[in-house]
Chain A
Amino acid sequence: MKNIYLDNAATTRVAPEVLNVMIPYFIKIYGNPSEYHKMGMDSRKAIEEARGKIAGFLGTKAETIIFTSCATESINLSHKGLIEAMGNKFPRKVRPHIITSSVEHKAVLETCHSLERKGKASITYLPVDRFGRVEVESVEQAVSRDTVLISIMYVNNEVGTIQPINEIGQLVQRLNQNRKNPVYYHTDATQALGFLDCNVDNLGVDLLSFTGHKINAPKGIGVLYIREGVEIKRQIDGGNQEKRLRAGTENTPYIVGLAKAVELVNIRKNNKVRKLTSFRNILIKELLKIPGVKLTGDPEKRVPHIVSVIVNGVEGEGAVLYLSELGIYASSGSACTSTDLAASHVLTAMGYSESESHGSIRFSMCDKTKKQDINYLVSEFPKVVEKLRKMNPIYNEK
């Protein structure tokens, strides 16, 4: 039975090298890092080494890296923590203003909704073009005297479009030269980490979040980078861990594993970008040969590992299930696949109708993806499409 996993944008396998470095910290060096005996200190040492490595990768100092359980937690900490730290800086009737995009991951959108609902912030959700890209001009136009945060994802997880993060960073720098209260800038780099430059000074960000499980680390570990001088209030209270920014006993093995995963990203990046870009281009070319198939997302400014399409006359979940039977694992943004039966908010923001979003399918590769995997997908997918179109009562009427 074939086993072709093409849902790496959803999650990735844990690399054996990552698992291997973690194991001693489960069974041998398992002391609580806050304790002063040797077991604790060895644990502490491993954590701080890991922190240093990850900081180096992002081009920053170790003190700016906080460990969390995932990107969702990092985003909650960043946005809610920043607003809370603003505290009394705003007059009573004025709320701090946040600018984000309409295609953000739900972690950002729901965090913003929550702040809005509780009257703690006002939010602007910027529209995007048909490729899902935010225009820098629209960011600039949305900035007001009360703006405190701009949060734009680096790479969209559903369609792979790369946002103009550097340009927005330059805009923020320019704006902050003439402002009494600075605008802070956050990006979630989860889908970008394996492929694009994530140096925090190059990007011009004050806050950066990412999760480990999309870069071959386990689920349950994430990072929040906080630029020196940016004040946030912790959201999980308890002990004094992570400079009193995130309470809870540190997850030593997972932190060590994450550092290893980041190290592997660094080593493998160039080859991975080259290989997957080539596979991606072949896959796009072949899929577009099927009538009624459209590529979603920016055709040029897109990340190497994601190919997202909409297929006319086919429902996404049905396609995912038939592909799964063939040993090909992909995902869909169709309404049927979401627990609230709503079509993908990303495709909707990009201007696709509900019935178009119905036929959305996403393939996302990893470094282990082989050429024959792509060949197999290319040969089987048209058959799946044909089978589903035969079953579609209205497709045959055309």
Chain B
Amino acid sequence: MGMIKKPDGVSIVGNPACGDIMKFYIKVDRKKGEEYIKDVKFQTLGCGAAIATSSIMTVIVKGKSLGFAKKISKTLIIDALGGLPQSKIHCSVLADKGLKMAIEDYCRRRK
């Protein structure tokens, strides 16, 4: 949880359904020719599930390759948390979207 001072990619996503907002910061580096997420932080305004999904997302992707991170689905997030009630599934969708948008932001900046 927190901010990264000079992030390589940032995203902010919101859910109009219930007003949750998630912000992701990523720092990307290269190792053996492959890009990976060196550091990742989140900030969230939202319910317990919103905080949990965004938090677990950062745990899942830290140190992993961009390729891996791009393939993450909401199912992986839900499983990592041991399940989510039906009304909170949308939080996992938002966390997934948020992280992917941060990666897209990084790719856009690189060009």
A317 interface hit (Cβ, 8 Å): yes
A141 interface hit (Cβ, 8 Å): no
Assess whether A391 is in contact with B43, with CB atoms less than 8 Å apart: yes
- Interface segment, one of B16-24, B29-37, B61-69, B76-84: B16-24
Given contacts A336-B50, A339-B87, A341-B87, contact A394 B45 (CB under 8 A): yes
Assess whether A341 is in contact with B45, with CB atoms less than 8 Å apart: no
Q: How far is the CB of B43 from chain A (nearest CB, A)?
A: 4
Assess whether B46 is in contact with A336, with CB atoms less than 8 Å apart: yes
The one of B1, B17, B47 in contact with A317, judged by C-beta atoms closer than 8 angstroms, is B47
B56 interface hit (Cβ, 8 Å): no
Assess whether A317 is in contact with B43, with CB atoms less than 8 Å apart: no
Q: How far is the CA of A314 from the CA of B51 in the complex (A)?
A: 12
A169 interface hit (Cβ, 8 Å): no
A16 interface hit (Cβ, 8 Å): no
The one of A358, A393, A395, A396 in contact with B12, judged by C-beta atoms closer than 8 angstroms, is A393
Assess whether B19 is in contact with A317, with CB atoms less than 8 Å apart: no
Assess whether B18 is in contact with A341, with CB atoms less than 8 Å apart: yes
Q: How far is the CA of A341 from the CA of B89 in the complex (A)?
A: 12
Given contacts A341-B87, A391-B1, A393-B43, contact A358 B19 (CB under 8 A): yes
Q: How far is the CB of B53 from chain A (nearest CB, A)?
A: 12
Q: Tell me the nearest residue of chain B to A357, going by C-beta.
A: B19
B-chain residues with CB within 8 Å of residue A315 when the two chains form the complex: 19-20, 45-47, 50
Assess whether B47 is in contact with A336, with CB atoms less than 8 Å apart: yes
A-chain residues with CB within 8 Å of residue B51 when the two chains form the complex: 318, 391
Interface string of A121-143 (1 = CB under 8 A from B): 00000000000000000000000
The one of A335, A391, A395 in contact with B19, judged by C-beta atoms closer than 8 angstroms, is A335
Assess whether B17 is in contact with A391, with CB atoms less than 8 Å apart: no
B58 interface hit (Cβ, 8 Å): no
Assess whether A392 is in contact with B87, with CB atoms less than 8 Å apart: no
A297 interface hit (Cβ, 8 Å): no
Q: How far is the CA of A245 from the CA of B25 in the complex (A)?
A: 63
Q: Tell me the nearest residue of chain B to A340, going by C-beta.
A: B87
Assess whether A313 is in contact with B45, with CB atoms less than 8 Å apart: yes
Residue of B3, B23, B46, B47 with most chain A CB atoms under a 10 A cut-off:
B47
Q: How far is the CA of A354 from the CA of B21 in the complex (A)?
A: 13
The one of B18, B43, B47 in contact with A392, judged by C-beta atoms closer than 8 angstroms, is B43
Tell me how many residues of A have a C-beta within 8 Å of chain B. 25
Residue of B21, B43, B46, B90 with most chain A CB atoms under a 10 A cut-off:
B46
Q: How far is the CA of A339 from the CA of B85 in the complex (A)?
A: 10
B92 interface hit (Cβ, 8 Å): no
Q: How far is the CB of A51 from chain B (nearest CB, A)?
A: 41
A334 interface hit (Cβ, 8 Å): yes
Q: How far is the CB of A352 from chain B (nearest CB, A)?
A: 12
A235 interface hit (Cβ, 8 Å): no
The one of B18, B21, B90 in contact with A394, judged by C-beta atoms closer than 8 angstroms, is B21
Given contacts A393-B12, A394-B21, contact A317 B45 (CB under 8 A): no
Q: How far is the CB of A393 from chain B (nearest CB, A)?
A: 3
A-chain residues with CB within 8 Å of residue B48 when the two chains form the complex: 317-318, 321
Q: Tell me the nearest residue of chain A to B43, going by C-beta.
A: A393
A337 interface hit (Cβ, 8 Å): yes
A-chain residues with CB within 8 Å of residue B20 when the two chains form the complex: 315, 336
Q: How far is the CA of A310 from the CA of B77 in the complex (A)?
A: 31
B-chain residues with CB within 8 Å of residue A394 when the two chains form the complex: 12, 21, 23, 45
Q: How far is the CB of A209 from chain B (nearest CB, A)?
A: 29
B-chain residues with CB within 8 Å of residue A354 when the two chains form the complex: 19
Q: How far is the CA of A343 from the CA of B18 in the complex (A)?
A: 8
Q: How far is the CA of A392 from the CA of B2 in the complex (A)?
A: 9
Q: Tell me the nearest residue of chain A to B46, going by C-beta.
A: A315
A-chain residues with CB within 8 Å of residue B87 when the two chains form the complex: 339, 341
Q: Tell me the nearest residue of chain B to A355, going by C-beta.
A: B19
Interface residues, chain A, CB within 8 Å of chain B?
A: 313-318, 321, 334-337, 339, 341, 343, 354-355, 358, 388, 390-396
A/B interface sample: 24 pairs, CB < 8 A: A313-B45, A315-B19, A315-B46, A315-B50, A317-B47, A317-B48, A318-B46, A318-B47, A318-B48, A318-B50, A335-B18, A336-B47, A336-B50, A341-B18, A341-B90, A355-B19, A388-B45, A391-B1, A393-B21, A393-B43, A393-B44, A393-B45, A394-B23, A394-B45
Given contact pairs A335-B17, A393-B22, a sample of 11 additional A-B residue pairs in the complex whose CB atoms are under 8 Å apart: A315-B46, A318-B46, A321-B48, A336-B49, A358-B45, A391-B43, A391-B45, A391-B51, A393-B44, A394-B12, A394-B23
Interface residues, chain B, CB within 8 Å of chain A?
A: 1-3, 12, 17-23, 43-51, 87, 90
Name the 4 nearest CB pairs between A and B, nearest first: A393-B23, A336-B47, A317-B47, A393-B43
